[in-house]
Amino acid sequence: MKRREFIRLLGGTAIAWPLAARAQQPAMPVVGYLDFYAAEPTGIFLAAFRQGLSETGYIEDRNLVV
């Protein structure tokens, strides 16, 4: 690789780097829920959990993934 080609490569990378950094979206928090019971008996607890999250400002699939 010649020196001029190397300098062009570095210049192109320096210009493209901020564009790629702005395109990235912030990571969304993920909450895992593991239960070994059937879904029906624990549905009340899961609904209360989701309500508590919404009261603190977390909305499922908008700024939080459960």
Does residue 66 sit within a domain? Answer: no
What domain count does the chain have? 1
Q: Tell me what pLDDT residue 60 has.
A: 84
Q: Is the pLDDT of residue 20 over 60?
A: no
Does residue 62 sit within a domain? Answer: no
Does residue 45 sit within a domain? Answer: yes
d(CA 4, CA 14) in angstroms, rounded, equals: 15
Does residue 64 sit within a domain? Answer: no
| Range scoring the smallest mean pLDDT among 19-23, 25-29, 61-65 | 19-23
Among all chains, which residue has been given the structure tokens 């909305």? 59
Q: Is the pLDDT of residue 1 over 70?
A: no
What secondary structure does DSSP assign to the chain, as a single string? --HHHHHHHHHHHHHHHHHHHHHPPPPPPB------S-HHHHHHHHHHHHHHHHHTT--BTTTBB-
Q: Which domain holds residue 9?
A: 3-55
